[in-house]
Amino acid sequence: MTTSVARFDRWIRNEFVEYNTALEEAYFAERREVLDGRPELDEPKRAIVTEGHHLIGRILDEGALPVVEREKYQLLGMVGYHLAACRRHESVAPGAEELSAAWSLASLLGSSLGVAPRFVFAHQAMYNPASGGQFQTFTSLEDEAVFLTNNGLAVFAYQRAAEAIRRVVPIGVSSPLSAYLLETARAALEDVLQFNRTLSKTLDVERFFFNVRPYFKTYRVGNAEYRGANAGDFSAINELDVLLGLATTRDPFYQNVVVEKYPYVTPEDQVRLRAIGGEQSLLTRFLREAESSPDPQLVRNAELFLAVCRAHGAAYTYHHHKLVLPFLVEPAKTAPPERLSELTASGPPLAVVVSGLSYLADLRSARDRPGKPSARKDLDRLRELVSRGTGDGHPASLTATAE
């Protein structure tokens, strides 16, 4: 780390956190998203803008940008925290020159890495370097740490599941080794559900709504506006959807979900997103083998596969009913009308985003909806073939239920 980057890093971990936290406490006391026209709050708002501008300017002046890709990505995240905080406190007029250094550094780093020049969820979870047990945050509020920790853990668990499912492809669905991989994926998806449960039980709805969520908004870099950070910006969940056979990139809605997130994921996840759809799904492979030669190992693996699909559906249905609805949709009902347009990370009105998420929840839990794609019929067929193989005429239902 060069001297100027180290100085910026120290500032992000100390003064930046103090300014944001003081502002958040003032907003929270009045249950307002932001407060204007309060002279005592102008000082920390201005300090975030000017001190950040100065420190970023020093990095540009030093002219020694990181060479290692990971360090470039981490620096892009730090510049992004500064820009996101300026946006969140609404402390810079649109078009003001005060962000020019940050825009310039973010653009340099973003174009060199081939990603959107803004901070994304991966900067906060997978690329957030802890020092003395403390990772980078906007505030020192407990709820921000709870949110980041459980989101990060859920993403790691999704990645563990996707890694296991990916490994089934070259060895085949009837391999005795696949049983271990399917079992790993099921356990990992149950961990996702567990982390989501912990999040739902420990995160305070109002703290999330007033003090955590506003840092994830859309912001500008130069002349372009980049949509907000989204905990779903990682490839593993989509790899799972398509490899399991619950979704397909031939579905225009789903294809758009995958393509849209491309600039907002890490460079290594971009490679994985590009590869999605290149392999036949496990569901198709299971059906083919089960129809022709349902040997005991295949039957055992198919039962495990069905359990993986159930766990995937359950984790995402929980996300919808116990995170999206209570933490965003419910509190949004009391938000002032002029704030409603800024509630989602991706930009469209909340109702549109929620309807899209509900569509995804249906795909992942293989729920039948008239006129919409669903893996339900194929899963039922596989379940039937499996139950014939085991002599059990009453297989477990595949419909995922949220708590």
Task: Give the residue among 17, 82, 73, 77 at the shortest CA–CA distance from 53.
Answer: 82
CB neighbour class for 291 (10 Å; exposed up to 12, middle 13-18, buried from 19): exposed
- What mask, x for binding ligand HEM by CB under 6 A, covers residues 246 to 265? -----------x--------
Residue found by looking up tokens 């609805």 in the block: 325
By CB under 6 A, tell whether 211 contacts ligand HEM: no
- What mask, x for binding ligand HEM by CB under 6 A, covers residues 344 to 383? xxx------x---x--x-----------------------
Give the residue at shortest CB distance from ligand HEM. 232
Select from 323, 375, 379, 398 the one that contacts ligand HEM (CB under 6 A): 323
Select from 44, 77, 232, 294 the one that contacts ligand HEM (CB under 6 A): 232
| H-run or E-run covering 385 | helix 376-390
Select from 168, 231, 265, 311 the one that contacts ligand HEM (CB under 6 A): 231
Measured distance CA(57)–CA(62) in Å, rounded:
9
Select from 324, 375, 385, 398 the one that contacts ligand HEM (CB under 6 A): 324
Q: Smallest distance, Å, CB 402 to ligand HEM?
A: 14
Q: Which stretch binds ligand HEM (CB under 6 A): 96-104, 105-113, 323-331, 383-391?
A: 323-331
Q: Give yes or no for a contact between 82 and 56, defined as CB atoms under 8 angstroms apart.
A: yes
77 Cβ contact partners less than 8 Å away, ≥ 6 residues apart: 119, 120, 122, 123, 124, 127, 128, 136
Q: Which stretch binds ligand HEM (CB under 6 A): 44-52, 152-160, 243-251, 271-279?
A: 152-160
Tokens of 102: 């940050």
Measured distance CA(25)–CA(288) in Å, rounded:
59
By CB under 6 A, tell whether 308 contacts ligand HEM: no
Q: Give yes or no for a contact between 349 and 223, defined as CB atoms under 8 angstroms apart.
A: no
Q: If binding means CB under 6 A, how many residues of this protein chain bind ligand HEM?
A: 25
DSSP β-bridge partners for residue 134: 131
Q: Give yes or no for a contact between 55 and 2, defined as CB atoms under 8 angstroms apart.
A: no
By CB under 6 A, tell whether 154 contacts ligand HEM: yes
Task: Give the residue among 360, 125, 164 at the shortest CA–CA distance from 260.
Answer: 360
Residue found by looking up tokens 């020092």 in the block: 131
Return the number of the residue (59 or 366) whose C-beta is nearest ligand HEM.
366
Q: Which stretch binds ligand HEM (CB under 6 A): 4-12, 49-57, 131-139, 342-350?
A: 342-350
Q: Which stretch binds ligand HEM (CB under 6 A): 111-119, 270-278, 321-329, 375-383?
A: 321-329
Task: Give the residue among 300, 312, 299, 339 at the shortest CA–CA distance from 239.
Answer: 312
Q: How is residue 370 annotated by DSSP?
A: T
Q: Smallest distance, Å, CB 195 to ligand HEM?
A: 6
Return the number of the residue (48 or 353) whose C-beta is nearest ligand HEM.
353
Which residues of the shown chain bind ligand HEM in the complex (CB under 6 A)? 150-151, 154-155, 158, 196, 199, 203, 208, 230-232, 237, 257, 319, 323-324, 327-328, 344-346, 353, 357, 360
